[in-house]
Chain A
Amino acid sequence: MSALLKVSGLSVAYGAVPAILDVSLELQPGEVRVILGANGAGKTTIIKTLLGLVRARSGTIQFDGKHDLTRLKSHQIHQLGIAWVPEGRQLWGSLTVLENLRMGAFIEHDEAKVEKGIATMFERFPRLKERRHQLAASLSGGEQQMVAIARALISKPRLLLMDEPSIGLAPLVVRDIFDLVRAINQDGISVLMVEQNARQALALAHWAYLLEIGQIVESGPAREISTKERVQEVFLGGAA
C-alpha cells in the first residue's frame, strides 16, 4: 500500500534559526500517527509546513503519491482533503459557532451539502447546536475544541492534522477528545497528531515519532516506543 503522506528530508528555518532538520516520516491510509515532543521541538512547525503556512527550506512532502505539498499554496492543499485542528483551537472568535462551521465547509459550493454537513456535526456535537448562534469566543475550552474538530471534519477530509488537541483542557475533557479521535479514525480518516500528552496519544496511535530539537530521534510502533527509555524518561514520568 502506498503512503498517504510521505515527508522526506524536510528542513525548515526561521531566518538563520533551524526549526526542524531533515525530518522524514510517513502515514499509511487509515492510520493514526503521533509525533511526541517537548515545547519548542518543532512539532507545530511540521504541521504548518504540511499546510503550506511555513515554507520548507529543503525536502519534499508527497501527498497521495502525486502531490508535492511544498509547491502548493495553503488553500490548494486544503482542497486535496487535508484539514487542521490548530494548537489552542484558533477559532474565529468574532464569528458564531455556525459561521465557524460554514467556514470549515468553505470549499463546498453545494449549499445543500453544507447544510447536511452542519446537521451531521450537530448530531455528533449536540452542545454546539444549542450554542450555534453564540460567538465562538464565548464558549468554554472543551466546547471550543469541539468546534475546532467539527470545523475540520465538515469538509470530510482524508487527512486530519491535529496540533496538541489536549492542551489546556480538563482531564475528563481530554479523555473525551481522545475517544473522539479514535471514533474519527474508525470512520476512515487518517490522523497525524502532535502531542505532549504521551500516555493517551500512545494508547491511541499506531505509530509514533519522537522529536527532539527539530530532529526525529525515535520512530516505531506506538507500543514499542512507549517502552523506550528516552520516552519513559521525558514523557511518561518515570525511569523504566
Chain B
Amino acid sequence: MDIFLQQIMNGAVIGSTYAVVAVGFALVFIVLRVVNFAHPEIFMLGMFSGLWAALHISDNLAVVLVAGAIGAGLGGLVLERAVIRPLHGRNMLMTLLATLGVSIILQNGMAIITGPDPVPYPTIIPNMSVPLGPVSLTARQLVNFAACIILLITASYYVRGTKYGRATRAVAERPDVAAAFGVNVSLISLITVVFASLMAGIAAVSVGLLYGSAWAFVGLLYGLKAFIILLVAGNRYFEGVVFVAIALGIIEALITGYVSSGMRDVVTFTLLIGVLYFRPNGVFGSYNA
C-alpha cells in the first residue's frame, strides 16, 4: 500500500511538469490557433539558461529559476515575432512546419554547443528525503512539484481573474470582435507565447535540478507527452489539461513501479488511441481551429 501511495506521489510530481508544458502548449494553440512544436525546445532553453546562471552568476535557487524564466521568455519572444507572427493568417500547417523547423534547429544547435549527452547540473538543493505521512519525497521533487503547482495557479489566476486574461479568452473565442473592442490582438498573442515560455522555463529549471542534468534533447520527452495530453484532454478546459497531465504522470509511475518501465509508453499510447476512438474531441471537449 505504501509503495502504491509512493508511486502516486512520484507520478503526481512528474505529471505536474507535464501539466505546465501542456498548459503552455494549449494556451498558444487556443489563443493563436498555432501548433507550436518549438514549445518543448523553449523549455530546453530555459533549462540551459538556468544551468548557465548557476555556473556563471550564482547558485542561489531564486537566481537560477529566474534565469530559466528569462532565457525561455526571450526565446518565446523571438519565436513569436520572427516565426509565428509573419505567418499569421496563413495555413495552420505552415506555422506547424516552421515551428517544427525551429525545434530541430534549437535541439541540434544546443547539441553542438553542449554536446549530445546530458550535462550535469550543480547541486543546489540537498539530496535529502522529506517524510510526508506514509510516503516521502526528496527535497528536489518537492521544489519541482511546488514550482509547477504555483505556476499552474498563477496561470489560472491570470486567465480567469485579470483584465488581460479576460481579453485573452475573448481573443481565443472571437479575435475580430476583440480587436473591434480595442484589444490589440497582436500584443495579446505575444504576451500569451511569452507567458507560456516563462512557465516552461521555470518548470524546466526545476526538472534540471530534480534529475541533476540538462539535455539538448529533453524537449523530445516532454513535447510528445504534452501533445498527447492536449489531445486526450481536449483544449477547452485548462483544468482538464492539468487533470490529464497529472493522471498521465501517475499512470506512468504505477506502470514503472508494478510492471516495467519498458511497458510505460505502450500503455500510454494505447490509452491515447482508446480515448480518441471514443472521444475524438478529447475527454473535456475542444475548440476546433
**A and B held together in a complex:** yes
A residues bordering B, Cβ < 8 Å? 48, 51-53, 73-75, 77-79, 83-84, 86, 90, 92-95, 99, 102-104, 106-107, 151, 155
B window 160-202: CB within 8 A of A:
163, 166-167, 169-170, 173-174, 176-185
17 further A-B pairs in the complex, CB-CB below 8 A; given A48-B176, A53-B179? A52-B179, A53-B176, A74-B176, A75-B179, A75-B181, A75-B182, A75-B183, A75-B184, A78-B180, A78-B182, A84-B181, A86-B177, A103-B170, A103-B178, A106-B163, A106-B181, A106-B183
- Closest chain-A Cβ to B200's Cβ sits at a distance in Å of 25
A191 to B173, CA, bound (A): 27
Minimum C-beta distance from B115 to chain A (A): 46
Q: Could you give 20 example pairs across A and B, Cβ below 8 Å? A: A51-B180, A52-B180, A74-B180, A74-B185, A75-B179, A75-B182, A75-B183, A75-B184, A83-B181, A84-B180, A92-B169, A92-B170, A92-B173, A92-B174, A95-B169, A102-B163, A103-B178, A104-B181, A106-B182, A155-B181
Which residue from chain A places its CB closest to the CB of B236 in the assembled complex?
A: A94
On chain B, the number of residues with a Cβ less than 8 Å from chain A's Cβ atoms is 17
Compute how far the CA of A53 lies from the CA of B176 in the bound complex, rounded to whole angstroms: 7
**A53 and B181 within 8 A (CB):** no
Cβ of B180: which chain A residues have Cβ within 8 Å of it?
Answer: 51-53, 74-75, 77-78, 84, 86
Distance in angstroms from B188 CB to nearest chain A CB is 10
A103 touching B179, Cβ below 8 Å: no
Could you tell me if B179 and A90 are in contact, using CB atoms closer than 8 angstroms? no
How close is B127's CB to chain A, nearest CB, in angstroms?
Answer: 46
Q: Which residues of B contact A (CB under 8 A)?
A: 163, 166-167, 169-170, 173-174, 176-185
Q: Is the interface of B mostly helix, strand, loop or mixed?
A: helix
Partner of B166, one of A51, A52, A93, A102: A102
Given contacts A99-B166, A103-B167, A106-B167, contact A151 B181 (CB under 8 A): yes
Bound Cα distance from A84 to B179, whole angstroms? 11
Contact in complex: B176, A103 (CB < 8 Å): no
Closest B residue to A111 using CB positions: B163
Q: What residues of B have a CB within 8 angstroms of the CB of A79 in the complex?
A: 182
A52 to B178 Cα, complex, angstroms: 12
Contacts of B174 in A (CB 8 A): 90, 92
CB distance from A14 to the nearest CB of B (A): 13
Given A90-B174, A92-B174, A73:B179 Cβ within 8 A = yes
Task: Enumerate chain A residues within 8 angstroms of B181, measured Cβ to Cβ.
Answer: 75, 78, 83-84, 103-104, 106-107, 151, 155
Instruction: Give the distance to chain A from B36, nearest Cβ to Cβ, in Å.
Output: 22
CA distance A106 to B164 in the complex (A): 9
* B173 / chain A contacts, CB cutoff of 8 Å: 92-95
A57–B186 Cα gap in the complex (Å)?
A: 23
| B residues near A78, Cβ cutoff 8 Å | 179-182
Closest CB of chain A to B136's CB: distance in Å? 42
Query: Shortest distance in angstroms between B70's beta carbon and chain A's nearest beta carbon?
Result: 28
Which residues from A are CB-within-8-Å of B169?
92, 94-95
Of A53, A92, A102, chain B has the most CB atoms within 10 Å of the CB of A92
Task: Give complex CA distance A74, B185 in Å.
Answer: 9
CB distance from B160 to the nearest CB of A (A): 10
* Residue from A51, A73, A106 with most neighbouring chain B CB atoms (10 Å): A106
Q: Which residue of A lies closest to B185 (CB)?
A: A75
**Assembly CA distance A219 to B93 (angstroms):** 46
- A90 touching B167 by the CB < 8 A rule? no
Complex interface: chain B residues within 8 A of A104 (CB): 181
Q: Which residues of chain B have C-beta atoms less than 8 A from A84's C-beta?
A: 177, 180-181
> Closest chain A residue to B187 by CB distance?
A75
